[in-house]
Amino acid sequence: MTQSNAAPAQIEHAHHHHSVKIYIDRVEKVSSNPTTGIALYTLGSIPDTYVLFREVQGHRDDELVPKTAAEVRLTEWEHFYSAQGKLNPGSAA
């Protein structure tokens, strides 16, 4: 009886993966949700020397999206942007 109850739960869990529209560097993209940081960097074609940030509402700092396999949950029309990983304003290079 326990096995028959497990199957509907697995099917229900699989249906929680759906697609959402997001913006990465002002370009509309479609991503599975949930996704991973690695997948977002790939979707946005983010160069290796750049990092990706999730825009946060209000007076808080935007959130760094780590380039890992950790799960990232998305919200429809959420905005992300890339920036150089190491900024050195006084550098001559």
Q: What is the pLDDT of residues 27-73, one digit of tens each?
A: 999 999 999 999 999 999 999 999 999 999 999 999 999 999 999 99
Task: Considering only residues 91 and 64, tell me which one the structure prediction assigns the higher pLDDT.
Answer: 64
Domain borders along the chain are: 18-84
Confidence grade of residue 10 (pLDDT, cut at 50, 70, 90): very low
Residue 21 has pLDDT above 60, yes or no: yes
Alpha-carbon dihedral angle through residues 46, 67, 29, 84, given to the nearest 10 degrees: -30
Helix, strand and coil content of the chain, in percent to the nearest 5, comes to 20, 35, 45
CATH annotation of 18-84:
3.10.20
Instruction: Please state the pTM of the whole predicted model.
Output: 0.75
